[in-house]
Chain A
């Protein structure tokens, strides 16, 4: 049972480059989301999805795109990387009902130079 799988674990980008962070879950969870974690701050929600074909913006969506073509996958795209996007990114998933806990991937440490 793999849970939530994120790739890559580490990435260095040059300013202006684009890339996609991959996230996949095998628990048939409806809800998926992307967070970024910066030092001294709590996690901040970037985008989330409540089901295939449905996405919405979180607290800090600028500079990021998402899509949800399948229940399993929820990729995060950085359109034109900026140093301010240097962070650790986490993908999470949860089932529909309120008593289900959230499961997180291992994170992607992204550095933009």
Chain B
């Protein structure tokens, strides 16, 4: 059974730091992996989508990588800002149907 783990559950860093959020999974047979952002009381916003054939995707200050052989994905945030404070979730799809398997998320706090 595919399991997705995000460690740490919470992270607090000073503004301006570069940081890495981790997502690990137990089965390398994935279809794609997606990183989301969730703000308190709000829905989820898609940040980056990586296909199983890709190694990384970039959007602005965000870079997501995927290493299927080691069962890991990382989300790199450059020059963090207080507005980056949110919960970050990773989710992967194991086939072409819509079944996402989720990690529990990392709550990120950027201190001014």
**B-binding residues in A (CB < 8 A):** 4, 31-33, 35, 40-45, 48, 50, 58, 90, 92, 94, 98-107
Contacts and interface: CB of A to CB of B under 8 A. Distances in A.
B94 to A, nearest CB: 12
Contact of B44 (A90, A99, A100): A90
Interface stretch (B63-71, B74-82, B96-104): B96-104
A90 B89 CA distance: 14
Which size bracket describes the interface of B in this complex? Answer: 20 to 34
Contacts, number: 67
Given A42-B4, A90-B43, A106-B43, A98 B32 contact: yes
A106 B43 CA distance: 4
Contacts of B98: 31-33, 48, 50, 92, 94, 102
A105 B99 contact: no
Nearest to B9: A40
A58 B99 contact: yes
Contacts of A4: 43
